[in-house]
């Protein structure tokens, strides 16, 4: 089986409810191959009293000394757990007050120990007081701990109890049951204002929610998955294994680089507890191999980049180099030119008919080379003009002409919109498309160059369409929120689109076509307005829109970054993200309606966008106040 492992082993921890000797237990757990230990900081049966005497004034230490481990071990090997009895949202005032004091005590002691993570169970929908206390703790200390909210994929009261070992489990279809615990989490993180230090530790039970709900969970900031030993089945040789449904979610969690925590006693007593770890590592080594797109994008997942503005800025050599490595794009361009030449020049004219081809925005020459290869492949004659406005790239083109191309290619150092062409072109070829199709101003550039295309001339590409899809991702929402710049409006970063390799997200509906441009065209007005409605079908939260594009180069030769039709192996474009300032909660019976505008005032182009259903957002980027593309 092909190994998809990147060479990194899975990080696994052991969860214990009772730890008699910390150092001995840590050593035993490490010997079994675990990387860290999850343990309560206070004895699970020691209910401290903060309200009533005489217990309130009980003398002596409330828990063990920090000297049992060295500081480095506390900092790297221990995940603290909140005592199970604590209920900060209890209806009974005495219990609530006691729980509040105990919670603060445990959070403070965790910070004192310097634990990397403290784990807090989420037991129900009422969590406002717990959220307030945790948020207060985060904002009043100088500690750097992160917090894992332990949330089951399905609530214990909704689990089937008639399970037979080794019998495949079936997904539950009741949406309200499926999504119950997700709504607990959504309430909690909303109360905490999406604080980056509050992450998810999902508990995977024997019963699984529907695939749609699992997809929604995978768009959340999952840092850990808790695997009870009770969900493991037994194979013929007596080893623990997981069902196919459980394996699928494990593979998805590998992609998110989640850590795994094993809880419960060994249910395969003839085997060492290592066998659970070994099975997980086996899955890691045999996960589906990453494709060339995933390998290229490694390290760029959910990393926000400003879209290129090649019309306003001159690109650097390394930027050209990255795009030239794309194995698919230029072979498709070559195929398009090849088919176009065969259609335009009959066999009997192949020695006399010389087609004039203009590469508009030639860069360092990859489209010129693709066109010359197509001419050789078609056995047709070609005269090429390579037009490029970047004077640095023109040096590269002139060297190509001197060393390889010769007189067949004329290099023109000029903006295509200002060029007085000496003759008209049969074919114009360009690669001016951005992640949203028209966002690098291909329409304006090609309209400006259309006057030197013959009446029966062909543009490659001949058309392109942008697509939008609603998405949910607290990771990306937080990334955008972190882009604030000192001298700019505090919300301008939410009115800016970003090129991003979408990774930790949930797409809420299939993409729909937004703006379409065709070349050559008689309509030179490139302003656009589109209203799109998406049926979502599940309770969720909207954080923004993913943008994609499809283009027809010539007849049936296409390129696409839309997920359903993505050109295999092509990595020249990541999707584009249009964020929203405020997340919008959506229930399963509601649609999402978004309105998108493309505006051009003669000097610059910009997008504006607004959600109008199920509730209205502000119009983002009015008059291009936060983001424009220079003409």
Residues labelled catalytic: 431, 440
User: Helix, strand, or coil here: 576?
Assistant: strand
Q: For strands 425-430 and 354-360, give the pairing.
A: parallel
Number of H helices, E strands in the chain: 16, 26
Q: If we measure between CA atoms, which residue out of 382, 366, 252 comes closest to residue 319?
A: 366
**Max CA pair span of the chain:** 108
Residues 323, 324, 325, 331: is their CA dihedral positive or negative?
positive
Gap between the terminal Cα atoms of the chain: 52
Which H/E stretch holds residue 381? strand 381-388
Distance CA 341, CA 129 (A): 71
Residues 429-444 as b/e (b if ≥16 CB within 10 A, e otherwise) read bbbbbbbbbbbbbbbb
Q: What are phi and psi of 602, to 5 degrees?
A: 95, -25
Token pair 């840092």 is at which residue? 223
Q: 511 is written with which tokens?
A: 């993409």
Alpha-carbon distance 532 to 145, whole Å? Answer: 42
CA triplet 162, 166, 169: central angle to 5 degrees? 55
- The helix (run of H) or strand (run of E) holding residue 107 is helix 93-113
Instruction: Annotate 439-475 with three-state secondary structure.
Output: CCCHHHHHHHHHHHEEEEEEEECCEEEEEEEEEECHH
Q: Are 445 and 426 in contact (CB under 8 A)?
A: no
Q: How far is Cα 515 from Cα 463, in angstroms, rounded to an integer?
A: 11
What are φ and ψ of residue 278, in 5° steps?
-65, -35
β-bridge mates for residue 198, sequence order: 147
Enter the tokens of residue 603: 């000097």
Say if CB 464 and CB 513 are below 8 A apart. no
Give φ, ψ of 574 to 5 degrees. -90, 160
Q: How far apart are CA 437 and CA 466, in angstroms?
A: 5
Q: For residues 445 and 229, what is the distance between their CA atoms, to the nearest angstrom?
A: 61
Of 143, 125, 156, 10, nearest in space to 80 by CA? 143
Query: Can the peptide bond before residue 244 be classed as cis, meaning omega within 30 degrees of 0?
Result: no
The CA distances from residue 439 to 347, 539, 584, in Å, are 39, 32, 26
């Amino acid at each position: 089986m092909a190994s998809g492992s990147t060479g990194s082993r899975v990080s696994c921890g052991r969860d214990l409810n009772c730890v008699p000797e910390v150092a001995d237990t840590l050593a035993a757990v490490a010997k079994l191959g675990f990387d860290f230990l999850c343990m309560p900081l206070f004895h699970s049966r020691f209910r401290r009293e903060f309200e009533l005497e005489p217990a309130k004034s009980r003398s002596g230490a409330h828990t063990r000394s920090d000297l049992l481990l060295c500081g480095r071990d506390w900092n790297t090997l221990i995940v603290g757990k909140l005592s199970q009895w604590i209920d900060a949202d209890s209806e009974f005032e005495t219990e609530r007050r006691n729980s509040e004091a105990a919670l603060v005590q445990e959070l403070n002691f965790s910070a004192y120990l310097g634990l990397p993570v403290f784990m807090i169970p989420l037991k129900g929908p009422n969590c406002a007081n717990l959220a307030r206390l945790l948020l207060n703790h985060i904002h009043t200390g100088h500690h750097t701990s992160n917090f894992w909210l332990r949330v089951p994929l399905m609530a214990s009261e909704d689990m089937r109890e008639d399970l037979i070992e080794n019998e495949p489990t079936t997904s539950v279809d009741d949406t309200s049951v499926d999504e119950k615990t997700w709504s607990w989490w959504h309430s909690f993180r909303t109360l905490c204002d999406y604080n980056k230090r509050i992450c998810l530790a999902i508990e995977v039970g024997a019963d699984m929610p529907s695939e749609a709900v699992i997809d929604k969970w995978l768009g959340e900031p999952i840092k850990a998955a808790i695997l009870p030993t009770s969900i493991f089945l037994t194979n013929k040789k007596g080893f623990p294994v997981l069902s196919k449904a459980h394996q699928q979610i494990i593979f998805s969690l590998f992609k998110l680089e989640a850590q795994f925590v094993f809880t419960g006693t060994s249910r395969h007593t003839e085997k060492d507890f290592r066998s659970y770890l070994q099975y997980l590592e086996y899955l890691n080594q045999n996960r589906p191999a990453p494709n060339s797109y995933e390998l290229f994008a490694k390290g760029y997942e959910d990393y926000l980049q400003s879209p290129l503005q090649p019309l306003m800025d001159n690109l650097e050599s390394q930027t050209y180099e990255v795009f030239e490595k794309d194995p698919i794009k230029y072979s498709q361009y070559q195929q398009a030119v090849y088919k176009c030449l065969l259609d335009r020049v009959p066999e009997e004219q192949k020695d006399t008919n010389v087609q004039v081809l203009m590469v508009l925005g030639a860069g360092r020459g990859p489209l010129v080379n693709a066109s010359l290869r197509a001419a050789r492949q078609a056995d047709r004659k070609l005269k090429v003009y390579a037009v490029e406005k970047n004077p640095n790239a023109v040096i590269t083109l002139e060297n190509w002409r001197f060393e390889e191309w010769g007189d067949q290619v004329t290099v023109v150092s000029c903006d295509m919109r200002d060029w007085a062409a000496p003759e008209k072109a049969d074919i114009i070829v360009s690669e001016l498309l951005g992640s949203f199709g028209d966002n690098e101003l291909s329409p304006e550039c090609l309209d400006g160059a259309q006057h030197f295309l013959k009446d029966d001339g062909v543009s490659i590409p001949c058309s392109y369409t942008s697509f939008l899809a609603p998405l949910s991702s607290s990771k990306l929402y937080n990334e955008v929120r972190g882009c604030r710049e000192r001298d700019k409006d505090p919300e301008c970063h939410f009115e800016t689109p970003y090129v991003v390799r979408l990774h930790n997200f949930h797409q809420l509906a299939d993409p729909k076509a937004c703006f379409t441009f065709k070349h050559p065209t008689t309509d030179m007005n490139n302003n656009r307005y589109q209203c799109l409605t998406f049926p979502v079908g599940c309770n969720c939260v909207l954080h923004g829109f993913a943008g994609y594009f499809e283009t027809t180069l010539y007849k049936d030769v296409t390129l696409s970054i839309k997920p359903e039709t993505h050109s295999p192996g092509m990595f020249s474009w990541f999707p584009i993200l249009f964020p929203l300032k405020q997340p919008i909660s959506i229930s399963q019976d509601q649609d999402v309606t978004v309105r998108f505008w493309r505006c051009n005032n003669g000097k610059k182009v910009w997008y504006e966008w607004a959600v109008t259903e199920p509730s209205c957002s502000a119009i983002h980027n009015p008059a291009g106040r936060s983001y424009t593309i220079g003409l």
